[in-house]
Structure 1
């Protein structure tokens, strides 16, 4: 089994051989973005920037990253992994929510997170940083409403880890406080992580069930993970599903192309335990776990990050296992496991998967097994999305 310390050594070794493009230091505050061709100052209070050019890019990658100088950011990059906009973040980021209609994105800090950062991924403009409310912290994920006016964020209560969905209204015309919390949904469990939209009216939430102090778990023996569905307008619980093994903390979610919710788990049991780490759920039914041999599950080092479906296959990444796996959705059986140091985000572009790495590699995968890879300068961290970007500004 690959341990976290081994993973870190592998990552350092991979980065040591890269000629990463140097970044020009961390800019003051988080009201600036940088392009690959020029530096630009952005006034967060007026949402304006000083210079604009156009880049003919129809689609792009957007995700959190680490800088070579040890700092953190969010990056909009071309499909070959080269940055167009880089947004400095005050601490490590995790997931990014993207408007379906519009050009705003929200980067969430890694749990227990203290901030969310909204920015315009087409123009490079940033909004004022939104800090977590008192006695609240962010779990690292969120999702926009279908019309893009509301942002739903997974949060926790500091003392108890009780789950909260913070509902934020975005008002770009309000320059001082454009991100206003208008509601909180509670009562669905502790330790929520990722939230997604499964239809226009329903949120799905991966509830990990773990009470933590900082990042230290306190209730492993009594944790109660679940996949819960909430009405996004009222916050009412509409459905709940549970895995048989309560040591499987449900973490990451993805809506498949057949309408099921794919759930990636973190196993909190014995170090030598080999358990299914990905399961599928259809509304009104039960969980169905994906199938692999014990030694194959152990390759993932008890943790699944990003999941994506394409052409009847599922791909799941494991940064802790330094690999990604591909399953055939119809049979639930594993097709292959491939090594990739610090495997992180995955998304679909031109009917292929793009899989990212903390070492800068991007792997293009045509299911089930056609692969190509290329090296870029961005040290991708955790998750990313593929976005449509006509008339991207630089």
Structure 2
């Protein structure tokens, strides 16, 4: 076994700007044994090369279901099984059940409502002259959309944001446990209320009632797990995609000017943000179900593997001049939404929200500019984003 690299020893610089550290790791190989920074402080193999990450994301020997090797994650223990914690055939079954209700047509039908929410948020924000873009815009837009889609009551949404933020970017192990416990209780009660109330027309209500031709349906634990992963994936990542895109554009005035001059480049701006500074820094853990090699490194059965999405996206072998932000770049093949059978179901919704939000913001605030330094970067290695983004216009 190779020497373990303590990523926490890199200090705050690794959290603020991990790209130089990932570059040095890639120079010495595509796979490394690392100790994650606190609060995780967990040993794992970290994949930092693009080709190796692309292959590993779809390698059936890397199991998402830790119970296969005796590991049960906190969210599985307290919430329930979901798409991020299962392998075929269980994953195939769960994805098929969710896909019956979370369809491309349903996402497209959200377009007018997304535009309406975007407009209302800008109506409230723009007269102020300055704001924290995360708090006033990037956070409430996707949270409102996913809560309406799932059928989460209005009064719960502010508390939801605090709980989900602690669940995916915890300030401590204790806060993560407390957040998971509260979310578990909340979803149990919400599902029971919806089951008793009858058809509601929202996604969670439809998931409760959906059945396959042979009568298969989601169990109570599966419903709770599915609600949890849809909520987290449906808003936390999109919050940081929107704020990350604005932050990156403001940091690259030439690219911002290019987009302002030609709004048909909005798709390229969103996709390049996903590659250059995407909201998912690393994929959730996988476990070696059998011995295997990744990039010439032997991984023993039962060992944890983390696939570095942010690290892979700066591989020069895939993207020439990878540290250059270029909204006209051919960035096909980026891994921001995963790859293979675990490709994100919510990718069309995230793209729709980001394109709508960024375009409307730039059109209605033509002199948008930074209003001070951004807030701290979120802790942990799952989600990448800033806590606040002060802007003025």
The interval holding the TM-score normalised by the smaller chain is under 0.3
Higher helix share: 2
Higher strand share: 1
What's the TM-score, normalizing by structure 2? 0.22
Which structure has the larger Rg over C-alpha atoms?
2
| Higher RCO (CA 8 Å, separation ≥ 6 residues) | 2
